[in-house]
Amino acid sequence: MGITDTPEEWQVTATATPFVGNKTSVRTDEVVMPDGSTVKRDYQVHPGSVAVLALDEQGRVLILKQYRHPVRQKLWEIPAGLLDIPGENPLHAAQRELFEEAHVKAEDWRVLTDIYTTPGGCDEAIRIFLARDLSEAEGERFAVSEEEADMEFARVPLAELVRGALAGELHNNCLVVGVMALSAALASDGLTALRPADAPWPARPFEA
């Protein structure tokens, strides 16, 4: 019997949305527990995200450094962004983010891993893609603003990022999970065993 997460939904007797923001909201559900009691659970409702671990021919990962106000730090990250449209194809969103943030395109795409960022307080689901066979994108660079106008870029060997994550020097969840997943894939069945880019994603169903 394999170890796998399973879908389940406990009874909700009441729900409210005390806050609605630009992209996310906060919801309060009254949930029936196994012992019959009812408790309130507050959580952020999130559209979902995609992230791209872009690996070049020299085994380096494309990363960017961006200011994140909630944690008051500039974090090294991999390109990532929201699913802007309900039901949006995550591969198309990932290709868009790689172009907009790094002005790079990739010919080979695979699903690296799927995660929930903070399932105790947010329903955000992220699909992390592996992108290879990289090249500079054609046309003009995407116009950036706000935090993105201050981004730094680098290409760093995978082993150095793994070391930095284990040393507590790198903290972005997509970067840490992505480099660890890639390292594990390389050490086991190889990259050809990864799921195809259009693999089903029950957390955020989409049309091909």
The catalytic site residues sit at: 148
DSSP label at 193? G
Structure tokens at 129: 């893609």
> Which residues are CB-contacts of 66 (< 8 A; sequence separation ≥ 6)?
74, 75, 77, 147, 148, 150, 151
Cα separation, 105 vs 98, in Å, equals: 7
Closest Cα to residue 117, out of 27, 194, 50, 18? 50
DSSP label at 143? P
Cα separation, 32 vs 13, in Å, equals: 7
> In the beta sheet, which residues pair with residue 77?
64
> On the CB side of 198, how many CA atoms lie within 13 Å of its CA?
2
